[in-house]
Amino acid sequence: MANTELYRRHNPDSPVLHSGRLDLTRLGGSEIQVWEGTGVFSVCRSLFLRSRLENWIKASRSAGKPPLLKELYGFEEETHLDDSMLLLQQGDDFIYVHQGTNSVHEYGKVFRGVLLSSIPGKMSLSFRRHYNAAAADMRPRYMQFRTDFSARHVRWERIALPLVSDERQTTKFLLLYSEPLDDKLEILQAAFDRSAVGMVAAAKTIGEDKTLEDAAILLANNRARTMLGIDEDILPVSTVRDLRSWVQNVRKWEQIDEPKTTLGKTIIGFRDKEKAKNITVVIEPIEHFVIFHLLD
């Protein structure tokens, strides 16, 4: 059966051809899930990665053999080189001969000229096994994996496209495209918004004459807005000074004891007379920011 037959679109009544997850590898807390065949189209989330695979299929069908590197570029792959990585097979190892600028930005690391086996961590061994399998049978592999090398993203999806240098398959390459499956900032934002604890985040203002009162209010989560009586669409306070005024003059909270400092955090007690309850405010500096925790 030709390679491309494994990736032919199928209707719901026809059998799935050689699809599904190949394995689940757990190495040092990392995991890699791998698919090949038509199953890729049912699990791949990125339209961009799907388009890369579809271009590989077109090139393979037109040539009737594994795509040549230059033939794949004929399908406008060159317009996405900034998002790609190109690996050259050397024995059972691979060397990064190209890494696009967008890829460098997303990963936060430069792999150009680096052997896969030399990259620290145990995941490189698993990647080598899957990459060698793709180079051996000349079938693309789709992967989902977790990694710590990116400061912003936790999980990724990747398509590995095998290519050859010439008709005799003298030299083999893998063209890789990766997309993040999640965003740490989105995860943190969701956790921030849904927290049962009221939280207000402020950024410290630069300058010797600037104090905590001058810190700019950035965010207030849903719980904090409820406790402070602030509308969902409008943030009526711009600085910590404004927040203090809002607490005292609008919400009418009364400070009931002197501030206490422990482990770098300042704790202040208030009394919300309207709701007849005590409020504890914990002020926590984190690098260039200050987080106000409101607990009732």
pLDDT band at 34 (very low <50, low <70, confident <90, very high): very high
Quick one: pLDDT at residue 143?
A: 93
Same domain flag for 175 and 35: yes
Same domain flag for 108 and 198: no
Q: What is the mean pLDDT of residues 127-152?
A: 85
Same domain flag for 67 and 168: yes
* Structure-model confidence comparison of residues 158 and 60, the more confident one: 158
Closest C-alpha to 86, from 3, 174, 4, 172: 174
Q: What is the mean pLDDT of residues 42-70?
A: 86
Per-residue pLDDT tens over the stretch 219-238: 888 999 999 998 877 888 88
Same domain flag for 168 and 193: no
Element (H, E) at 127: helix 123-137
Lowest mean pLDDT among 5-9, 82-86, 218-222: 5-9
Same domain flag for 144 and 271: no
Same domain flag for 265 and 277: yes
Quick one: pLDDT at residue 211?
A: 79
Q: What is the mean pLDDT of residues 32-61?
A: 89
- Each as own residue / partner, the long-range contacts of residues 260-263 (CB below 8 Å, 24 or more positions apart, any chain) are none
* Structure-model confidence comparison of residues 166 and 63, the more confident one: 166
Same domain flag for 168 and 241: no
CATH of the domain at 289: 3.30.450
Same domain flag for 279 and 248: yes
CATH of the domain at 114: 3.30.450.20
Same domain flag for 245 and 116: no
Of 148, 182, 216, the one marking the end of a domain is 182
Of 154, 182, 210, the one marking the end of a domain is 182
Same domain flag for 200 and 175: no
Q: What is the mean pLDDT of residues 253-269?
A: 91
Count of structural domains within the chain = 2
Per-residue pLDDT tens over the stretch 102-116: 888 777 778 999 999
CB 175 within 8 A of CB 163: yes
Q: What is the mean pLDDT of residues 90-113?
A: 88
User: In this structure, what token pair is assigned to residue 184?
Assistant: 């740490």
* Structure-model confidence comparison of residues 63 and 69, the more confident one: 69
Give CA–CA dist 273/165, Å, rounded. Answer: 77
DSSP 152-190: S-SEEEEEEEEEESSTT--SEEEEEEEEES--HHHHHHH
By residue range, what is the domain housing residue 282?
186-295
Quick one: pLDDT at residue 70?
A: 82
Same domain flag for 122 and 244: no
Quick one: pLDDT at residue 138?
A: 92
Of 130, 164, 182, the one marking the end of a domain is 182
Question: What percentage of the chain exceeds 70 in pLDDT?
Answer: 81
Lowest mean pLDDT among 70-74, 114-118, 196-200, 267-271: 70-74
Same domain flag for 67 and 178: yes
